[in-house]
Amino acid sequence: MKIGTLSDVQKIKQKALQELFPKKIKLSVGLGSCGIAAGADAVYDALKKEVKKKKLDIQIAKTGCLGFCGEEPMVNLYKPGFPLLVLHRVTEKDVGNIVQVLAEGDIPQKKVFCKIEHVDNFVDSEELQFGKKLKNVPHSHDIPFYQKQKKIVLRDCGLIDPENIEEFIAVGGYSSLLKVLKNLSPEEVIKIVKKSGLRGRGGAGFPTGIKWEVARNNPGDKKYVICNADEGDPGAYMNRNEMESDPHMLIEGMIIGGYAIGADEGIIYARTEYPLAIERVNGALEEAKKYGLLGKNICNSTFDFDITIVCGAGAFVCGEETALIASIEGYSGRPRPRPPFPAQKGLNGKPTVINNVETWCTIPVVMAKGPKWFSQVGTEGSKGTKVFSLVGTVKNVGLVEVPMGITLKEIIYDIGGGGIQGRKVKAIQTGGPSGGCIPTALFDLPVDYEGLQKSGSIMGSGGMVVMDERTCMVDITKYFLSFTEEESCGKCIPCRRGLEYMRNILEDITEGKGKMSQIDELVEIASVVKQASLCGLGQTAPNPVLSTIQYFRNEYEAHIRDHKCPAGVCKPLIKYFIEEETCTGCHVCVRACPTGAVLGEKKKAHTIDLDKCIKCGACFDACKFDAVRVE
Amino acid sequence: MFEIAINGKKYKVEAGETLLPVLLREGFDIPYLCFHHAVSPYGSCRLCIVDVAAGAKKGVTPSCTLPVAEGLQVETDTPEVIRIRKILLELYLAEAPGSTKIQQLAKKYGVESSRFSKMDITIKGDRCVLCGLCARVCSEVLGVGAINFSGRGVKTSINTPWYDVSSSCIGCGACAYVCPADAIDIITEGDERVMKTWHNTSLKLKECAASLEFFATEKGLDFINKLLTDFPDELKAKSPESRKIEFAKDFSLLPKKT
């Protein structure tokens, strides 16, 4: 089964397509971490059991994540002649009915979310085509969540079984690698990547082609490529999905990169907290070896290359490239001064290209479509697409891949569906704990590296947390600072002690003990930490402080001067009360209260005893008449 | 050899140098803690910062890790550099309130008190500034590595494995010698050298064959004597002071340069 030529790949592809979309009904259950968390494991087991019990010729398979986490568990229904149907919110209880309906020759309409009639995987010249029936079912590209997306990196996620290399090949996988090995020199590969304008997707956005060129030009017979899979930003899980749903695209990208710079060894540094991703990547590496895509003389070429996985051990700072390298070398993950940069002197002092998972995953498409095509997607300074994790107080939660240059407004309202429960969106936090909070006034911003930087935030790895009037900007800043303070390696004093000091001030403010002079002091210390810290963790940790003071200073002032938390979050500064005119006396809040602080007779306006109230918010959540208020 | 500009004037440098040694040799007054010519640049203390006006990356940068390059222009005392330096020294005053050296350093640059005084410094003690010189000398120069950074963030300290008596320490005292903050305590108790800071790791001392005074630890002498291949055994058994007396008597005893 060893692959030696492009025609070997084509042969496997033809055969595998017949199995990916067979001549029978096939149900593929979305088994990414989010799907599993929503109960997809149980759905998968139940489907297998039911189909066996009813002795039906229906194939039950695994697939990855289609990105719409809010609609999980999702199951793809393939029926020959029909468009690919996406079922949503499938529970164990639905399984019996679904199988029954299918056995009767029908479609379980109630569970259908949308249909897919064609898929462009960007590496094949032709799109995958499905049947064109069921006019009343919306097409996936008419669903607001999917409409403005352009799935280049996520091209195969949710369509193929991540544990089957042949399905990856069926959708064009490894064709780019073969074309590179047979037709291009390493220098030509680097030229293409440079021309494409691809910038690193890990957060810093350094031009990938230039990084590869520096590594290629640094002398030496031993070089490395590393994949930074230490995705540590809270709320960011793009890389997790990329590895769980399509591990082979990462491998293909790394082999091409290794070939380009002259490395014979690749290392994937993956955070231990991603066990499923590690399992799937490990499995994919084994398969790649079996098919002759890794090891000695890959695909009958003179190129040797192998990949191993090294696991992290719970340190956010190990996502910083020099700390990551130190960790692989067996030292504590503490950053080292740059220069020298890893491309000059990296792992074990050798030239090393270290790129994020998403950057590697983009490479096969860049090679297949060419630099001109790629540079036509996105903006002048930021080419291509970016995967974002859209989370927080937004209706449609999940992973979205959009062309650079789309506005925040489009992401939040068109794709995200706006605020939850009809509440007004107040801000969006981008770039994780290194990023800033952007207010609604700036939502017309095009999302790209420069645009986000101008607003006082950063692209980062792609986290996008939507916030509304119930998010306290001071509290959220305190949260981010507590995170970076905890994760600081401690090597340099501005980060080690500066973050601690700032977090203490924020605690004072959220507890009503703040002073107005402390707002300016936060800015003063923030600028020292930003400029004097040794690595990116310290240099960017003050960003949440600086951006919230810039755009939401009024909230800081309210906490300090008025002893109030406008969002109703900071417990020492809020009190719950019941609005007399609105209260119907339905007594639901009385039952919800854990301390007996709510008093009142049925059908008469209730009151809250502030001495007993612990501000848990149970009455607030329970009241259906909006009579319980916070101030 | 080429020239770079420091505070508007040109200075000669060699390719491969870093900026701080250049600044020091040209007489510029730059504070630092973690720099030492015997070990590789580390860049942890951040005190040697300067402002790069023209170069690969503009802005505030530590000079100990900045390689000199054609076209480099730096300013050593811009208002921003001075402001940041002072706040860093304020931080160090609170990080090491028990160190007179740090107090002197702070006072020299105009910092008398610190707003950061509520720091919890129980794990690392009240003198250590976490510059890492002791650990780096122990690893890089001695090749022993008995002590190193431990813990993370504010819980960082320089320590021995399991914060306990060290089995690899040779009692050479190089750590205390390079410490810029006088934070490492070593005393003699009877016939032992006690590394108090390293959890009272105790090592037997050796007497000089000539003066009969304790001059080094047995472990330390075993270690160093393995490296002194062309050195007479009778001299190995004597303290440096006693050897000087011997050399003064007979220059032929001096080890020959190879």
Q: Which residue in B41, B88, B149 is closest to A494 by CB distance? A: B88
Between positions 20 and 49 of B, the ones with CB within 8 A of A are 41-46, 49
Q: Which residues of A touch B65 (CB under 8 A)?
A: 337, 339
Q: Is B57 on the interface with A (CB under 8 A)?
A: no
Mutate to test the interface with A, among B34, B46, B95 (most CBs of A within 10 A): B46
Mutation to test the A interface, candidates B50, B57, B91, most A Cβ within 10 Å: B91
Nearest by CB to B84, which of A337, A491, A531?
A: A531
Q: Helix, strand, coil: what percent of chain B each, to 5? A: 30, 20, 50
Nearest to B152 among A490, A494, A504 (CB): A490
Contacts of B114 in chain A (CB under 8 A): none
Query: Quick check: B46 and A332 CB within 8 A?
Result: no
Across the interface, which of B49, B60, B156 has its CB nearest the CB of A496? B156
**What are residue A270's phi and psi, to 5 degrees?**
-115, 140
The confidence score (pLDDT) of residue A145 equals: 97
Rounded to an integer, the average pLDDT of B209-230 is 92
In the predicted structure, residue B258 carries a pLDDT above the cut 80 = no
- Cβ <8 Å between B149 and A315: no
Residue B92 touches chain A, beta carbons under 8 Å: yes
| B56–A339 CB contact, under 8 Å | yes
ipTM: 0.94
Question: What domains are defined for chain A?
Answer: 6-122+137-165 (3.40.30.10), 174-373 (3.40.50.11540), 385-468 (3.10.20.600), 473-561 (1.20.1440.230), 575-630 (3.30.70.20)
At B51, the pLDDT band (50, 70, 90 cuts) reads: very high
pLDDT at B37 over 90: yes
**Which residue does chain A place closest to B128, by CA atoms?**
A493
Write out residues 139-198 of B within 8 Å (CB-CB) of A.
149, 151-156
Q: Which residues of chain A have pLDDT under 70?
A: none
Residues of chain A with C-beta less than 8 angstroms from the C-beta of B119: 497, 500
Q: Is A3 exposed, middle or buried (0-12, 13-18, 19+ CB in 10 A)?
A: buried
Q: Fill in the amino acid letter for B176.
A: A
pLDDT at B228: 86
Domain boundaries, chain B: 2-77, 133-253
Q: Which residues contact B12 (CB under 8 A, 6 or more apart)?
A: B1, B2, B3
Task: Find the closest chain A residue to B94 by CA distance.
Answer: A497
**pLDDT band at residue B57, thresholds of 50, 70 and 90?**
confident
Determine the distance in angstroms separating the CA of B132 from the nearest CA of chain A, rounded to an integer. Answer: 9
Instruction: Name which of A485, A490, A494 is nearest B151 (Cβ-Cβ).
Output: A490
What distance in Å separates residue A533's CA from the closest CA in chain B? 7
Facing B88 at nearest CB: one of A491, A493, A527: A493
First to last CA, chain B: 29
Q: What is the pLDDT of residue B256?
A: 67
Reported as half-sphere exposure (CB side, CA atoms, 13 A), residue B162 has a value of: 5
pLDDT at B56: 85
At A422 the pLDDT is 87
**Residues of A in Cβ contact (< 8 Å) with B80:** 531
Distance CA A577, CA A598 (A): 9
Write out chain B residues lying below 8 Å of A493, CB-based.
45-46, 88, 91-92, 95, 129-130
CB contact under 8 A, B44 and A491: yes
List residues bridging with B50 in a β-sheet: B61
Phi and psi at A271, nearest 5°, equal -70, 140
When CB atoms are compared, the residue of B56, B65, B84 closest to A532 is B84
Region B34-50: what's the mean pLDDT?
A: 97
Q: What is the number of other CB atoms lying within 10 angstroms of the CB of residue B206?
A: 18
Q: Which of A534, A221, A223 shows the shortest CA–CA distance to A348?
A: A223
- Identify each DSSP E strand in A312-384 by its residue range: 352-356
Contact A534 B43 (CB under 8 A): yes
Cβ distance of A490 and B130 shorter than 8 Å: yes
Q: Which are the contacts of A454, defined by CB distance < 8 A and separation ≥ 6?
A: A445
User: Number of residue pairs across A and B with CB atoms under 8 Å?
Assistant: 88
- For residue B180, the model assigns a pLDDT of 97
B253 has a pLDDT exceeding 80: no
pLDDT at B251: 72
- Mark out chain A residues that contact chain B at CB-CB < 8 A: 315, 332, 334, 336-337, 339, 485-494, 496-498, 500-501, 504, 524-525, 527-528, 531-534
Using CB atoms, pick whichever of A485, A491, A532 lies closest to residue B49: A532
Interatomic CA distance for residues A198 and A260, integer angstroms: 15
Percent of chain B with pLDDT over 70: 98
What pLDDT does residue B243 have? 87
End-to-end C-alpha distance for chain A, whole angstroms: 68
Q: Which residues contact A51 (CB under 8 A, 6 or more apart)?
A: A58, A60, A99
CA dist A369 → A90, A187, A459, A497 (Å):
36, 18, 25, 49
Rounded Cα–Cα distance for residues A350 and A284 (Å): 27
Chain B contacts of A500, Cβ < 8 Å? 119, 153-154
Closest Cα of chain A to B245: distance in Å?
45
pTM over 0.90: yes
The pLDDT assigned to A602 comes to 86
The answer to whether residue B118 scores a pLDDT higher than 90 is no
CATH top class, domain B2-77: alpha beta
Query: Closest Cα partner for A535 from A499, A505, A482, A507?
Result: A499
User: So what's the pLDDT on residue A442?
Assistant: 96
Mean pLDDT of chain B: 94
Helix, strand or coil, per DSSP, at residue A214 = helix
- Which chain A residue's Cα is nearest to B115? A501
What are B59's strand-pairing partners?
Answer: B52
CB contact under 8 Å between A496 and B118, yes or no, is no
Q: Token digits for A593?
A: 């209260």
Q: What is the pLDDT of residue A471?
A: 96
CB A390 within 8 A of CB A146: no
Pairwise CA distance, residues B152 & B169, whole Å: 23
Q: Does B91 touch chain A (CB under 8 A)?
A: yes
Which of B84, B149, B151 is opposite residue A528, by nearest beta carbon? B84
How far is Cα B30 from Cα B88, in angstroms, rounded to an integer?
Answer: 13
User: How far apart, in Å, are the Cα atoms of A530 and each of A458, A495, A499, A533, B28?
Assistant: 14, 8, 10, 6, 25
The answer to whether B58 contacts chain A (CB < 8 Å) is no
> Number of H helices and number of E strands within chain A?
24, 20
pLDDT digits over B147-202, tens only? 999 999 999 999 999 999 999 999 999 999 999 999 999 999 999 999 999 999 99
* Interchain pair B45, A492: CB under 8 A: yes
Residues from chain B contacting residue A485 (CB–CB below 8 Å): 153-154
Residues of B with CB below 8 A from A541's CB? none
